Chains A and B, each alone.
Chain A
Amino acid sequence: MSATFLGMPGNFPKNSEKAVQNSQLRFNLRKATHTIRGKRASVVGELPDWQELRAAGKAIKDHTLRNLDRYLLQLEDAVTTAGGAVHWARDAAEANRIVTELVKATGEREVVKVKSMATQEIGLNEALAQHGITAYETDLAELIVQLGDDFPSHILVPAIHRNRSEIREIFLDKMPGVSADLTDDPPALTEAARLHLRERFLRSKVAISGANFMVAESGTLVVLESEGNGRMCLSLPETLISVVGIEKLLPSWRDLEVFLQLLPRSSTGERMNPYTSMWTGAVEGQDFHLVLLDNGRTDVLADEVGRQALRCIRCSACLNVCPVYERAGGHAYGSVYPGPIGAILTPQLRGMSSELDASLPYASSLCGACYEVCPVAIDIPEVLVDLRAKAPHAAAEKAGMKVAGWVLDDHERLAKAQRAASRLRKVVPRRLPGPLSAWTDTRDVPEIPEEPFRDWWKRTGGGASEEAE
């Protein structure tokens, strides 16, 4: 059973300090992210109108978010008319309760799952387990994470922190019925997973999914996937329950034209993903339930700067270009949403009262690579800086920044401080004190000059007297 992120300890600097020394993790992440960066750049480069598509994606999402109340009601109407049932979940607890009741009502004690970040966000598997219901992940990477009793570390490829020999170990250890001479050859591993999952697909009467998009106009849900497990789970079982964040809404069928171009190129670096499934309400012989999830999203919507995070279509392009994510890995963020989008979404959904969540807006050098690749143009650095202004500040840091601000407020004060530093230039310790020791742990400090620039300017008339010599 995959573990829950709720109540993760530590903070990002501490967690990433450990991760950064893990050579296997560093190797896996570097290889995977650099490869996918290239693929993404290549397929995006093929489209002459990529920037227009981005702008359209941003505009459609902003419009939808501005009118979310209207579109949600329209969606509910359309889904209900098409034979589905719509449930509204204010928070994780309510969503888990609704889903548990729905499953119990079928009499089944096993469900199959299509990969869904939303269900991980609310800890659904754990909640079901408490009621004696086992949820089996069918997405290969989620299966690996589940069998390994692990946490997902990436939005799209949750087992990116595992390599093939680790996966083989996990299968040998935990996958029922697997052959003892299983190799770590990817086709062999895939075949073992296929055989294992095929049994589950054919046996299971209840499936739980998320969705990439929900179309208000028609009541259609859309799932984009690579493996076909989604298609199996959506079509075979008698009962389908979809848990979807309210921000996944699109107004009309036509809007898919934009997003079906933006998403595959941004996520897997493909022109089109292998399986796109769309379903409207319930098909004959199937019960369909849509659970609309808020869980903090309307609070995010209320924030003028932060609401752009709700445009996210969970492509993970930002994770794949982030130099911080590349070296820290997903676990360091302590959330199902790691990386740049995680750094702005997690603190908004969970608040910043925990040490971990308060550290997330700082898990960035503000390089802007994420903003550049985001298909819906979320200005992640802007939201990070805004969250930093709202985050709790440690007393010592606050004091230091106040002093720095005071010195910088007045040029005479600044000059005095500079001259004092210059006088001490010969006695700069190899190791700086306090928080600045973090600098000298890995870097030399620059030599302090004899005089600051402003004194040189004053003394020489801007170099005029020097050049006259």
Chain B
Amino acid sequence: MRVALFITCVNDTLFPGTGKAVVSLLRRLGCEVDFPAAQTCCGQMHVNTGYRTEGVRLARHFTEVFAGYDAVVAPSGSCAAMVREQYPKLARPGSRGAAAIEEVAPKVYELSEFLIDVLKVDDVGAYFPHRVTYHPTCHSLRGLRLGDRPLRLLRNVRGLELVPLPGAEECCGFGGTFAVKNPAISAAMGADKTRNILDTGAEVLCAADNSCLMHIGGTLGRQRAGVRAMHLAEILASTEEAR
């Protein structure tokens, strides 16, 4: 099985640690990934902000870069949802673009989907002795319908104390460019999300999307709350030897 890693532009630029964690985790599970260097971005920011032409160009590029792989792993619920849910709507039915999308899109998996549905593991042999609470992120929850996949993975991490997050299903307030176009509401939503997180007494806030984590973590940081925001991949990659 030829597996490619879609690192995503946010992770590539700001959170390479998440990418390294995915590579190391999958290697530990016996799965080597390719990193096609020509990859850039799924186009979500442009499409969702109303710049369809640029977004479609990026989508086309994506389908070209990842053609021919059996699976594409993306450590981002929103990017995986963009490809699987929104790409089919971007191309004219019957066009070459539509065919390319039909070929690639179903093969794109968010990390927890790949682990559970493709590699068929829910215990990745991780060790992470901290109290953790998990925020499901909107694309993961309502777009991809990840369900309890991430929680199953976290529950099998040795030493990890998982505590439920109140109001988990409420949006954190990131919303892409929403965070800067409607900053007051974004901040208000972030304030409520961080309050719920602090109420759990958790040391770590975990999610499957660094874009949301950037917003929640940035808000926690500004509050000097002392709670760390970590991507799911980095917790799952954690072992006694490598933390």
Contact string, A366-400, partner B, CB cutoff 8 A, digits 1/0? 11110110000000001001011111010000100
Pair B182/A324 contact, Cβ less than 8 Å: yes
Judged by a CB distance under 8 angstroms, whether B11 is at the interface is: yes
Give every chain B residue within 8 A of A389 (Cβ-Cβ).
Answer: 50-52
Q: How far is the CA of A409 from the CA of B142 in the complex (A)?
A: 29
Interface of A: prevailing SS: helix
- Known interface pairs A444-B221, A451-B16; A365-B138 also in contact (CB < 8 Å): yes
Give the size range of A's interface with the partner: 35 or more
Interface string of B68-82 (1 = CB under 8 A from A): 000000000000000
B38 x A411 contact (CB < 8 A): yes
| Interface residue ranges of B180-216 to A (CB < 8 Å) | 180-190, 214-215
Contact at B218–A443, with CB atoms within 8 Å? yes
Q: A12-B182, A445-B218 are in contact. Are A323 and B37 (CB under 8 A)?
A: no
Bitwise, A146-172 to B at CB < 8 A (1) or not (0) is 000000000000000000000000000
Interface centre among A387, A393, A457 (most CB of B within 10 A): A457
Q: Which of B100-108, B124-132, B153-161, B167-175 contacts A (4 or more CB under 8 A)?
A: B167-175
A401→B190 CA distance, assembly (Å)? 25
Give, as a whole number of angstroms, the nearest-CB distance from B36 to chain A: 9
Contacts of B40 in A (CB 8 A): 408-411, 414
Given the interface contacts A366-B138, A367-B171, A449-B16, does A388 sit within 8 Å of B48 by beta carbon? yes
The docked-state distance in angstroms from the alpha carbon of A415 to that of B175 is 25
Does residue A362 face the partner (Cβ distance < 8 Å to B)?
yes
Is B16 a contact partner of A364 (Cβ separation < 8 A)?
Answer: no
- Is B150 located at the chain interface by the 8 A CB criterion? no
| Contacting pair A368 B23 (CB below 8 A) | no
Residue of A367, A452, A454, A457 near B138 (CB, 8 A) is: A367
> With A324-B185, A454-B35, A462-B23 given, is the CB distance from A365 to B57 under 8 Å?
no
Q: If A367-B138, A401-B54, A414-B40 touch, does A16 touch B185 (CB 8 Å cutoff)?
A: yes
B91 → chain A closest CB, angstroms = 15
Question: B61–A409 contact, CB under 8 A?
Answer: yes
Contact A454 B7 (CB under 8 A): yes
Complex Cα distance, B23 from A328, in Å, reads 42
Bound-state Cα–Cα, A64 to B37, Å: 51
* A424 part of interface (Cβ distance < 8 Å): no
Q: Which residues of A contact B214 (CB under 8 A)?
A: 446
Which B positions have Cβ atoms within 8 angstroms of A? 7, 9, 11-17, 19-20, 23-24, 27, 33, 35, 37-41, 43, 45-52, 54, 57-58, 61, 86, 89, 138, 142-143, 169-171, 173-176, 178-190, 214-215, 217-219, 221-222
Return the 10 tightest CB-CB contacts between A and B, nearest first.
A365-B175, A388-B50, A443-B218, A405-B54, A367-B171, A453-B16, A438-B183, A444-B221, A442-B187, A368-B142
